[in-house]
Amino acid sequence: MKIGILAAGITPDSLLGEFPTYANMFAEQLGKLQKDFSFVTYDVRLDEFPNSAEECDAWLITGSKADAYSDEPWILRLCSLIKEIDQTQRPLVGICFGHQVIARALGGRVEKFQGGWGVGIHQYDVCGSLPVLPEAKELALCAFHQDQVVEKPARARVILRSEFCENAGLLYEDHILTFQGHPEFSKVYEKALVDLYDGKQLTQEQAKTALNSLESSDIHSNQMMSWIGLFLKKES
């Protein structure tokens, strides 16, 4: 299977020597789980787009520091591609910015959350049953965001939620799956990101709370990445 990764963002320059790009995080982790996957990355920030939604068998949109509600030309073009992918019913997965921009493209609303930043490990309530964790009532993922989907598209079903993030996971029929959290992030990378933004975008108190969560909570990244792999193959 040919998986198209729509890279909407990249690992900060100061961390690139130690960590992969966001696109490569997915390619490396999913490639270990699904041996028949091949990957092609489109840097949509630089206006690198596929010729059509049929160029790949399935698609994934990464996180980004960009605002999903912006009217930058590449974001508007990405919204058009999302609609095209949706019409073909090819599998599509969105993470963080990807989660938000898919919601925007399909009729939802995204904005800067009045409750502030969501960083560190966040616990989400499971709404229903997840294929990879059928008995789970909660799951935990690394988070790093200030924007949120504040109104979900009418057709989307909420699968993960928390008091901080009402629409943390969305499922659109059987071919679009999105998460606000980051299953591709390790605790080590999340810590590096928090340290980088400590005292800048994040207050010292926010950074301290986030770092404490990394010490006290486990994450379900492996299980969620497994689900993403199965979903892209339409086997979940």
pLDDT the model gives residue 140: 97
The answer to whether residue 99 is catalytic is: no
The pLDDT value given to residue 141? 98
Residue 182 annotated among the catalytic residues of the structure: yes
| Distance, CA of 51 to CA of 55 (rounded, Å) | 7
In order of 125, 126, 163, 164, the CA distances from 160 in angstroms are 6, 5, 11, 11
Predicted TM-score of the model (pTM): 0.97
- Work out whether strand 118-126 and strand 156-161 pair parallel, antiparallel, or are unpaired: antiparallel
Please tell me which residue in 56, 182, 190, 220 is annotated as part of the active site: 182
Residues of the chain under the 70 pLDDT cut: 236
- Residue 216 is predicted with a pLDDT of 86
Catalytic residue of the set 56, 145, 184, 190: 184
Other residues' Cβ atoms within 10 Å of the Cβ of residue 23: 23
Closest CA to 152 of 111, 93, 95, 91: 111
Reference 152, options 105, 115, 92; nearest CA is 105
pLDDT at position 217: 84
